[in-house]
């Protein structure tokens, strides 16, 4: 259980770093930029298209790729911290 708590806090920290990167980009350019999951994956070097196709699985994949990565990773981290919190 301890490893999952550590992993959840790491996810929260990564989410905060990603939102911080968006804020720094906003301060540099003067316009609000929120990077989606597909944009961040393309910056890292993983070529991903935000338009996967049609169908139910493709709609889920499109949603995941169009969500800001900080919301996705941070949201998973927050949910994990609630699930794996220490019980008294």
Lookup: tokens for 39: 């944009």
With a pLDDT cut of 70, the percent of the chain lying above it is: 97
Q: What confidence score (pLDDT) does residue 81 get? A: 94
The number of C-alpha atoms within 13 Å of 34 and in the hemisphere containing its C-beta is 9
- Distance from C-alpha of 19 to C-alpha of 34, rounded to nearest angstrom: 8
> What pLDDT is stored for residue 4 in this prediction?
92
SS3 of residue 36 by DSSP: strand
Q: What is the pLDDT along the chain (88 residues), one digit of tens a residue?
A: 789 999 999 999 999 999 999 999 999 999 988 988 888 888 888 877 766 677 888 888 888 888 999 999 999 999 999 998 887 7
């Amino acid at each position: 259980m301890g490893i999952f708590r550590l992993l959840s806090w790491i996810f929260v920290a990564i989410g905060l770093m990603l939102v911080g990167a968006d804020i720094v980009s906003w301060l540099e350019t003067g316009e609000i930029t929120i990077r989606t999951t597909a944009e961040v994956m393309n910056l890292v070097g993983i070529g991903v298209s935000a338009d996967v196709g049609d169908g139910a699985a493709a709609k889920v994949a499109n949603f995941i790729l169009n969500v800001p990565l900080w919301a996705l990773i941070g949201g998973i981290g927050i949910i994990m911290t609630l699930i794996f919190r220490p019980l008294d």
